[in-house]
Amino acid sequence: MKRTKRIVSLLLIFVVLFSLSTVNAFAKSTTKYSITISAAASLANAMTDIAKLYEKKYPNVELSFNYGSSGALQKQIEQGSPVDVFLSAATKQMDALKNEGLLYNSTIKTLLYNDIVLIVPKGSTLSIVNFGSLCNNNVKVIALGEPTTVPAGQYAEETLKYYGYLDIVKAKAVYGKDVTEVLTWVAGGNADAGVVYKTDALSSDKVEIISTASLASHTKVEYPGAVIKGSKHPKVANTFLKFLTTKEAKAVFDAYGFRY
């Protein structure tokens, strides 16, 4: 029994050392790689910082990013767009691609969590104090993400339905192609209020967070990631996906307000 445990321990040590040597060898490789990451728009700010950290560690890898709503990115992948890694703002789109056999299932992992918040333009005088205030007559335009393709829009509608305000708000709603557009409308004063992710709201000094939606009011906001089967360099793509779970990457996500 003791001998078996000892053998298992030695094997585990060998696996760890082999993995480390593989990573080090890859980092020192002179072969050039180009990796394309399709990521939810709400990840753009954090990804910009993380890309710099990754490329410093792996200077032989060039990262390209394609941002948009998770639904639109899903459709692009289904249509054969050259993508190596998909980072979604919801499990719905990731599950769809998994069911279609377009992912390396072993690479699928939940990376982050976020919150849904109600925002108004900085300095708003409309006395919006909570989600219920959206029903007030003086609130004319409310920005939401398109719920069929934008996860933030889906979460927003779930939240408004939970509170009992959905029908009233839909009559005043304008729908953005992604959460970044919703934020832009509110920040520019083109909407009286909007529903976005907390991380997006924190990225702008032109909006104010009025209320955070109860976690019970909507599906959990989680960000799964995976390597696409069509990737020309799946092993390299997986190093980027794994990098998102390192201390360096987590420090960046923390700074932008994401949760784990």
User: In this predicted model, what pLDDT tens digit does every residue of 68-126 receive, in sequence order?
Assistant: 999 999 999 999 999 999 999 999 999 999 999 999 999 999 999 999 999 999 999 99
pLDDT level of residue 25 (50, 70, 90 thresholds):
low
Is residue 50 a part of any domain in this protein?
yes
Look up the domain containing 143 and give its range: 116-217
Is residue 213 a part of any domain in this protein?
yes
- Mark whether 200 and 228 lie in a shared domain: no
Distance CA 135, CA 208 (A): 19
Which among 30, 29, 36, 24 is positioned nearest to 233, based on CA atoms?
Answer: 36
CA distances from 111 to 73, 114, 130, 183, 246 (A): 18, 11, 30, 23, 11
Average pLDDT over residues 8-35: 56
- Mark whether 125 and 201 lie in a shared domain: yes
Phi, psi of 195 (to 5 degrees): -120, 120
pLDDT level of residue 13 (50, 70, 90 thresholds):
very low
* In the predicted structure, residue 12 carries a pLDDT above the cut 60: no
- Residues comprising the chain, all counted: 260
The number of distinct structural domains making up the chain is 2
User: In this predicted model, what pLDDT tens digit does every residue of 128-187 receive, in sequence order?
Assistant: 999 999 999 999 999 999 999 999 999 999 999 999 999 999 999 999 999 999 999 999
- Mark whether 63 and 152 lie in a shared domain: no
- Mark whether 144 and 64 lie in a shared domain: no
- Mark whether 179 and 247 lie in a shared domain: no
Question: Do 142 and 169 meet the contact criterion of CB atoms below 8 Å apart?
Answer: yes
Rg of the chain's alpha carbons, rounded to an integer? 21
Residue 30 has what pLDDT?
Answer: 72
* In the predicted structure, residue 127 carries a pLDDT above the cut 60: yes
Is residue 23 a part of any domain in this protein?
no
Task: Evaluate the CA torsion angle 213, 141, 206, 256 in order and state its sign.
Answer: positive
Is residue 96 a part of any domain in this protein?
yes
CATH number at residue 107: 3.40.190.10
Is residue 237 a part of any domain in this protein?
yes
* In the predicted structure, residue 7 carries a pLDDT above the cut 80: no
* In the predicted structure, residue 255 carries a pLDDT above the cut 60: yes
Q: In what order do the strands lie in the sheet with 33-40?
A: 61-68, 33-40, 85-87, 222-227, 109-113
Is residue 12 a part of any domain in this protein?
no
- Mark whether 138 and 206 lie in a shared domain: yes
Model confidence, pTM: 0.87
